[in-house]
Amino acid sequence: MSEQGEKSNDVVDAQPTDTTDAKPMSGSSSAGIGVPKFQAVGGDGEPVISAEDFFADEYKMDYPHRGKAIIINNRTFDRQLGLGERTGTDQDAAALNMRFMEMGFDVDIYHNLVVRDMAIVLGKAAGDDSYNRSSDCFACAILSHGEEGIVFGTDAKIEVKVLLEPFKGNNCKGLLGKPKLFFIQACQGMQFDSGVGVNTSDAKGQMEMEREITVYKIPSEADFLIAYSVVPGYYSWRNSANGSWFVQALSDVLAKHWHDMDLLTIMTRVNKKVAYEFESKTGKEFMNQKKQIPCITSMLTKEVLFKPKK
């Protein structure tokens, strides 16, 4: 075959296109576990973000309000669930309430909510459009029993993604382009982490974009941070007197650095504190000397720096 004939079988001047690393989808999706889907689209018109703020490396943190912080503290559960009382969780709720208030949040605490009420509380917060448009961000702490990707209300379980749904960019325009921060103290499985021994030594080791464009798209899943107390598959530890390891560490690091350190650095310090400073002590030998490491899932697009409000 001639060279000309070979070329005729090639695709000439084809334009590159994007595709997904998955099989074709049917378009169906799950609404979640046992609760209605709550939408939270409030107000009229699209939110306006200045080009300067849109392209900045830090989130804008000079709105009139810091934002709403919701704490859901589930301590006791319906008997049929077979879940024990979460002693120590009230200490966690009190510590986070203090930290959030110091940081300038308007804090609401809810105790022992059924799953429907958990969804309603968060749906209403996402739908408070006028308040959200004048706020820096949103924060939520959920303190409960859990399984992988799931937290418990006092009556049943609910997927974490269902609780986050109202805050996505296509549902919550008031928080579009703003950080949505979720801190989840709950087990994610039934494995124990026994840890690995380490020997230490004294040795020390050593977009350009077109600014004139005025309409932009932001992924609806962007600007979330979900900090789980433990990695998927494992138990999360809680002390009956002092509260959970994760919230103790989070409260301590926030108290010292919320005003001078970005959030991802703060959460890395929290990971280190939980990993290095805590080890289980129980009356059951098979549960002793266990370790824990939190898990941070970040879809943030900028640095989160909580500058003190004037």
Active-site annotation, residues: 145, 187
Q: How far apart are the first and last CA of the chain?
A: 78
- For every residue of 152-213, DSSP letters joined together read E-SSSEEEHHHHHGGGSTTT-GGGTTS-EEEEEES--EEE-B--------S--------TT-
DSSP secondary structure code for residue 13 in this structure: S
Contact 72, 141 (CB under 8 A): yes
Using CA atoms, how far residue 228 sits from 32, 73, 167, 186, in Å, is: 19, 15, 18, 7
CA nearest to 113, candidates 163, 65, 67: 163
Contact 141, 96 (CB under 8 A): yes
What are the strands of the beta sheet with 157-159, ordered from one edge? 146-147, 150-152, 157-159
